[in-house]
């Protein structure tokens, strides 16, 4: 574990909304939201009224009647996000980018060139503001988890250094929601047993956390609560999975909603798998209900897949299984698909034409090969004429219209 605070976590503030205010100066200082039917991102002025990403547009307008909605300049998001990360690259080669607008950097090897970590962080913030016109917050700490929390505490447009020896004093008074891996559902479960701060989590018996969250999550959060985080930065790593999700608001759990949504999600995931020639064996779905509780299900296949309709059908079976086991839940708010156990260069084993019931879901069968061939034809058409040129049915495109694909792709990690 690091004994000095040399890890930086840099995070552009309210990135999408800040870019819109940069491109249109008349929006500066005003509450704005990127999106329409769904809030994709909100400025700090809008957040002051309770407006948040993922919120239905109608509710956002109720909370903030003066809210201004803007469409979204996706090419500028990518350009400015890349430029901000390039500033980090100018100080150290040890940079781990984790999304379009945030990254870790380890500056232990460059202090003799650029000064102490706090000076480097100050220089980065100054350059991003001067060269790009964007605010960026940076946390500096001995570990990745602590640096990320520090950057969140520093927001908006701030810098916070957590020196060795002060880690627990800083960490334990903070809310558990700042921890990596604590979402609304986990936060609610922890609140049920009286845990609201990281310190309270640290002092909770490990057995209670294991019973509440499961062994993996319980052990992980307990370690992070004591700042036990030995992870090093990973540069140039390849993703171990590919996924996509769709926030639905409040929709009935019926086939007319589920089938087109899963087909659209499968299209997004499978096209990325094919583009990188990395099919996967394990398919996982996540279903979130109206009360924000969520259930995941997965299946590991005999052969890796990357065909769109094949993935959609397998995901559909998993979702139906979830709904059958939770028959009282009639409303869903989110669906997600991910594929893991990716293979670099899978050898396709051809199947004999035995007339099996699941033949069309077998990559090596005649029907499976035909499905993959259709996908590759669609890929080529899209490469030449754009993604909207051809799809898997207008109903799938209608299901995704509230959130543009350009925005989704920026939020999804590349393989």
Label residue 311 exposed, middle or buried (CB < 10 Å: 0-12, 13-18, 19+): buried
CATH of segment(s) 169-226: 1.10.150.20
Q: What is the DSSP string of 219-254?
A: HHHHHHHTT---PPP-SSPPPSEEEEEEEEEEEE-S
Q: Which residues of the chain have pLDDT under 50?
A: 1-2, 394-402, 413-415
Q: Of the residues 20, 96, 102, 167, which is catalytic?
A: 102
- Residue 11 among known ligand-binding residues: yes
Q: Could you tell me if 304 and 314 are in contact, meaning their C-beta atoms sit under 8 angstroms apart?
A: no
pLDDT at 3: 56
Structural class in CATH, domain 241-410: alpha beta
The boundaries of every CATH 3.30.1490.100 domain in the chain are 241-410
pLDDT at 358: 67
SS3 100: coil
- pTM for the model: 0.69
φ, ψ of residue 242 to 5 degrees: the values are -135, 135
Q: Could you tell me if 53 and 16 are in contact, meaning their C-beta atoms sit under 8 angstroms apart?
A: no
The boundaries of every CATH 3.30.70.270 domain in the chain are 1-160
- Residue 101 among known ligand-binding residues: yes
- Give the closest residue to 335 by CA, choosing from 254, 279, 415, 393: 254
pLDDT at 404: 55
383 labelled catalytic = no
Domain 1-160: give its CATH superfamily: Reverse transcriptase/Diguanylate cyclase domain (3.30.70.270)
The boundaries of every CATH 1.10.150.20 domain in the chain are 169-226
């Amino acid at each position: 574990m690091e004994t000095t605070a040399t890890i930086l976590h840099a995070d552009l503030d309210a990135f999408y909304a800040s870019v819109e205010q940069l491109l249109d100066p008349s929006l500066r200082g005003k509450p704005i939201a990127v999106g329409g039917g769904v809030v994709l991102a909100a400025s700090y002025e809008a957040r002051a009224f309770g407006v948040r990403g993922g919120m239905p547009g109608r509710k956002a307008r109720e909370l903030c009647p003066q809210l201004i909605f803007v469409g979204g300049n996706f090419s500028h998001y990518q350009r400015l996000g890349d430029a901000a990360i390039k500033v980090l690259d100018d100080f150290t080669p040890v940079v781990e980018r984790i999304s379009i607008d945030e990254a870790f950097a380890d500056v232990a090897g460059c202090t003799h060139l650029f000064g102490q970590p706090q000076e480097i962080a100050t220089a980065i913030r100054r350059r991003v503001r001067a060269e790009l016109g964007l605010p960026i917050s940076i946390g500096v700490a001995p570990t990745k988890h602590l640096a990320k929390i520090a950057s969140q505490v520093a927001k908006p447009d701030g810098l916070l250094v957590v020196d060795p020896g002060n880690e627990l004093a800083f960490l334990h008074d903070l809310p558990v929601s700042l921890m990596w891996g604590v979402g609304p559902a986990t936060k609610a479960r922890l609140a049920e047993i009286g845990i609201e701060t990281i310190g309270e989590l640290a002092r909770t018996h490990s057995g209670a956390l294991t019973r509440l969250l499961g062994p993996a999550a319980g052990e992980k959060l307990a370690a992070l609560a004591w700042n036990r985080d030995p992870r090093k930065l990973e540069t140039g790593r390849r993703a171990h999975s590919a996924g996509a999700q769709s926030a639905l608001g409040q929709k009935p759990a019926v086939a007319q909603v589920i089938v087109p949504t899963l087909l659209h999600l499968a299209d997004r995931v499978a096209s990325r798998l094919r583009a990188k020639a990395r099919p996967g064996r394990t398919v996982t779905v996540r279903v979130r209900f109206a009360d924000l509780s969520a259930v995941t299900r997965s299946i590991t296949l005999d052969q890796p897949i990357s065909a769109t309709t094949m993935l959609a059908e397998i995901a559909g079976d998993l979702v139906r299984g979830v709904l059958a086991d939770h028959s009282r839940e009639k409303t869903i708010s989110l669906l997600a698909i991910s594929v893991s156990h990716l293979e670099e260069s899978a050898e396709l084993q051809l199947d004999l034409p035995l007339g099996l019931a699941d033949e069309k879901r077998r990559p090596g069968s005649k029907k499976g090969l035909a499905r993959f061939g259709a996908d590759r034809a669609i890929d080529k058409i899209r490469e030449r004429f754009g993604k909207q040129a051809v799809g898997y049915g207008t109903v799938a495109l209608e299901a995704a219209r509230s959130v543009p694909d350009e925005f989704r792709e920026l939020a999804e990690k590349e393989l």
